[in-house]
Every structure is written in C-alpha cells, then in structure tokens.
Amino acid sequence: MFRSARDFGAAVRKKRKGLGWTQKELASRSGTGERFIVELESGKPSCQLEKALIVTRTVGIEIGDLKTAQASSTASEDGLGFLPTFGDGR
C-alpha cells in the first residue's frame, strides 16, 4: 500500500526503469509532460490525480478498489488515525 506521495512516485520510477523507459518516454506514452513525471517520481504531493492514475496504468501498476482498502494497523501510531477506513470499519 502507498502511504505517501513519495512511496507512490518511487513505485512509478521503479516500474518505468524496469521497462527501460526514460522519463521523457513515459511522459510521451502517457500523454503528460516530462516535468509532471519528474515531479510525480520525486513525490510531489500536489500532483494531479487523474494524470497520476494514467501514468500508473501506463507502467502497469494496478491501484485497486478503495472500498476494499483496510487501514494499516499503525494508522493511529503514525498520526494518521483521523483518516477514514473503508469497508466494514467505517
């Protein structure tokens, strides 16, 4: 599970490099700009969600259904206890 924009960006970078693509090539394949890819991979928290989802699909990352996501057992310990849980734990 991704716990931060940095984790998310690192996963995109890893998949892109595994495919042997440059940031410029991924930008072209996903219809975004190279600067967007740079910012996404660096973990910039204000990246646009729709573009980020397109990029993840382009490199083959499946995000999954948020309704089935469960809160981490450390959510309260790391200060994220205010976030909602999904499924039966609402």
Higher pLDDT, 51 or 88: 51
Is the per-residue pLDDT at 90 higher than 50?
A: no
We report the CATH number of the domain holding residue 57 as: 1.10.260.40
33-65 pLDDT, tens digit per residue, is 999 999 999 998 886 888 888 898 899 888 775
Residue the block writes with tokens 């940031």: 23
Token code pair at residue 48? 């646009």
Counting the structural domains of the chain, the total is 1
User: Which positions ≥6 away from 69 have C-beta within 8 Å?
Assistant: 1, 86, 87
Banded model confidence at residue 85, pLDDT cuts 50, 70, 90: low
Query: Could you tell me if residue 79 is inside a domain?
Result: no
Residue 89 has pLDDT above 80, yes or no: no
Q: Can you tell me the mean pLDDT for 62-74?
A: 54
Domain limits for position 25: 5-64
Is the residue at 17 inside a domain?
A: yes
